[in-house]
Amino acid sequence: MSSLASVGLTFLGLTCVTFFIGRVIPIDPVLAIVGDKASPETYARVRTEIGLDLPLPVQYWRYLLKVVHGDFGSSVITSHPVLQDLLQVFPATLELALPALFIGVVVGIPMGVVAATHRGRWQDQAIRLLSLLGYSMPVFWLGLVGLLLFYAVLGWVGGPGRLDVTYDDIVSPVTGMITIDSLLVGEYDVFWNAVSHLLLPASILGYLSLAYIARMTRSFMLSQLRQEYVLATLAKGLSPWRVVWVHALGNVWVQLVTVIALTFGGLLEGAVLTETVFAWPGLGLYVKNSLFNADLNAVLGGTVLVGVVFITLNMLSDLVYPLVDPRARDQ
Shared domain for 37 and 161, answered yes or no, is no
Task: Clarify whether residues 211 and 185 are in a common domain.
Answer: yes
Contact residues for 320 (Cβ-Cβ < 8 A; gap 6+)? 257
Taking only the tens place, the pLDDT of each residue in 118-173 is 888 998 999 999 988 887 888 888 888 999 999 988 888 888 888 888 888 888 88
Task: Judge if 180 and 326 occupy the same domain.
Answer: yes
Label residue 26 by pLDDT band (50, 70, 90).
low
Is 73 within the bounds of a domain? Answer: no
Last residue of a domain, one of 46, 68, 90: 68
C-beta neighbour count of 182 within 10 angstroms: 23
pLDDT value of residue 326: 60
Residue 328, pLDDT above cutoff 70: no
In-domain check, residue 60:
yes
Residue 179 shares a structural domain with residue 299:
yes
pTM for the model: 0.83
CA distance 172 to 144: 30
Amino acid at 270: G
On whether both 157 and 214 belong to a single domain, the answer is yes
pLDDT in tens, 178-211: 999 999 988 899 999 999 999 999 999 999 899 9
Rg (CA), the chain: 24
Both 147 and 10 in one domain: the answer is no
Residue 279 lies in a domain: yes
Rounded Cα distance between 315 and 3, Å, is 9
Task: Looking at the structure, tell me whether residues 92 and 50 fall in a common domain.
Answer: no
Closest CA to 175 of 188, 190, 185: 185
Does the residue 77 lie in any domain?
A: no
Position 1 scores a pLDDT of 46
Q: Are residues 94 and 55 in the same domain?
A: no
Domain boundary (68, 90, 115) is at: 68
Going by C-alpha positions, the residue among 241, 217, 218, 243 that lies closest to residue 230 is 243
Does any domain span residue 76? no
In a domain, 125, yes or no: yes
Residues 287, 156 within the same domain: yes
pLDDT of residue 54: 77
Distances in Å between the alpha carbon of 82 and those of 24, 188, 323? 21, 32, 37
CA separation for the pair 55, 58 (Å, rounded): 5
- Both 188 and 290 in a single domain? yes
- pLDDT value of position 214: 92
The enclosing domain of 187 has a CATH number of 1.10.3720.10
Rounded Cα distance, 101 and 260, in Å: 8
| 40, 174: one domain | no
Q: Please indicate, yes or no, whether residues 89 and 59 belong to a single structural domain of this protein.
A: no
CA distance 301 to 268: 14
Q: What's the domain count of the chain?
A: 2
Q: Which of 68, 98, 126 is the last residue of a domain?
A: 68
Spatial CB neighbours of 68, under 8 Å, sequence gap ≥ 6: none
Q: Is 273 left (phi over 0), alpha (psi -120 to 50) or beta?
A: alpha
> From the CB of residue 306, how many other CB atoms can be counted at a distance below 10 Å?
22
Mark out the alpha helices in 153-187 (DSSP H runs): 178-184
pLDDT in tens, 39-97: 777 778 877 877 777 788 888 888 888 888 888 888 877 888 888 899 888 999 999 99
223 part of a folded domain: yes
Tens-digit pLDDT profile for residues 274-309: 888 888 888 888 888 887 877 788 888 888 888 888
191 located within any domain: yes
CA atoms within 13 A on the CB side of 52: 16
- Burial environment of residue 323 by CB neighbours within 10 A (0 to 12, 13 to 18, 19 or more): exposed
* Range of the structural domain that residue 315 is part of: 82-330
